[in-house]
Structure 1
Amino acid sequence: MTISIGEKLPSATFKEKTADGPVEVTTDSLFAGKKVVLFAVPGAFTPTCTLNHLPGYLENRDQILARGVDAIAVISVNDWHVMGAWAQQSGGMGKIHFLADWDASFTKAIGLDADLSAGGLGVRSKRYSMLVEDGVVKSLNIEENPGQATVSSAATMIEQL
């Protein structure tokens, strides 16, 4: 079942590449006592994710944080090496968290996994954004089409803040 507004996120551990190497990031360390914007993409470096979805969050980072948000994170079913390279290439390293859900365990636990095998991607995440306060989902925006980044865009999230 897909997670719903008002539900608590399940416990999970992600990997994130930092300047000092990979670190583990738990849902508790990221969300406990904080207001966080989390958005998910089907794949790092894929066209819609790189050209349309991620740039909005990077360009509007300061505006989002100014609205009381403590952190912004992007998650994808990729390994931490890929997410780290995407963070570097996009200029997002150190600005937002680039979280690797390498085995899709978190994505499956919240019911937002998608089988994109027909496109050669395998099991990935649906494209979505959510506002999470102290680990609880306050808003959830799921794209109907993985090739679109409108419902889950930074602009939509700013309106919801």
Structure 2
Amino acid sequence: MIAGAKLPNVTFHTRVRDDSIGGSNPFRWQDMTTEDYFAGKRVVLFSLPGAFTPTCSTYQLPGFEDNFEKFQEMGIDAIYCMSVNDSFVMNKWAESQGIKNVKVIPDGSGEFTRRAGMLVRKDNLGFGLRSWRYAAVVNNGVVEAWFEEPGLCDNHGEDPYGESSPENVMKYLETAASVAAQ
């Protein structure tokens, strides 16, 4: 995607906690749309190959979580982490990482990722179809800035990381704020 592009309009099938259900699994299905997540907000969206994977769990997700307040100070309303994983996996991963601020979006079928042009094969790792690693600043559903890792292709032999890092996105926001202040 490029700056100025509108995000794909899809429905995400999520599981949300509902204490009125009771029992050991108090969750219910709740469909959320692209508009539900992005309308009227300036957000950071980042996507990665898979929950529980090393780079995603060690650097990318914790980096966005740990810097949430700094992102808010730069005019970001929410930070979303998306992956081609189902809601059960995304929710358990967020729980295992102690995530309180970053919200996870399950793109279980890969529909959003495919329509964004970021769906790649990761058969070489036994993953199947997954997201290429990227981040974006999105303003009211429109891409303001796009940060894509180099080498987009199926079965890439490496897992590039840097362009979509929280530090790089923050650098963009700082520069944008500095330019706007002049």
What is the TM-score when the length of structure 2 is the normalising length?
0.82
Structure 1 residues 87 and 15 mapped into 2: Cα distance closer, same or farther (>3 Å)? Answer: farther
Letter matched to residue 104 of structure 1? G
With 10-19 and 117-126 compared, the bigger mean Cα shift is at: 10-19
Look up the equivalent residue of 1:10 and give its one-letter code.
P
2:21 is aligned to: none
Determine if contact 1:48/1:148 at 8 Å carries over to the other structure: no
Equivalent pair of 1:17/1:98 in contact (CA under 8 Å): no
> For 1:143 and 1:152, how far apart are their aligned partners in 2?
6
Deviation at 1:12, TM superposition (A): 1.0
CA distance in 1, matches of 2:149, 2:17: 32
- What letter matches 1:129 in structure 2? A
The runs of 5 or more residues in structure 1 that have no matched partner are: none
Q: Which one scores higher on RCO, CA 8 angstroms, separation ≥ 6?
A: 1
1:13 aligns with 2:11: yes
Q: Which amino acid letter does the alignment assign opposite residue 106 of structure 1?
A: F
Could you tell which deviates more after superposition, 139-148 or 123-132? 139-148
Q: CA RMSD in A?
A: 1.4
> Number of matched residues?
158
- Tell me by how many angstroms 1:67 deviates: 1.1
Tell me, yes or no, if structure 1 residue 86 matches structure 2 residue 86. Answer: no
Measured after TM superposition, the shift of residue 26 of structure 1 is 1.1
Please list the CA deviations of residues 100-137 of structure 1 after superposition, one character each: whole Å capped at 9, or x if unmatched.
00010000001011111111100000000000001100
The equivalent residue for 1:158 is 170
Rg (Cα) greater in structure:
2
Identify the residue that residue 111 of structure 2 maps to in structure 1: 105
The answer to whether the 8 A contact 1:5-1:140 is kept is: yes
The runs of 4+ residues in structure 1 deviating greater than 6 Å are none
What is the percentage of aligned positions where both structures have the same residue?
Answer: 38
* Length-normalised TM-score, structure 1: 0.93
Unpaired runs of 5+ in structure 2? 19-26, 152-157, 174-182
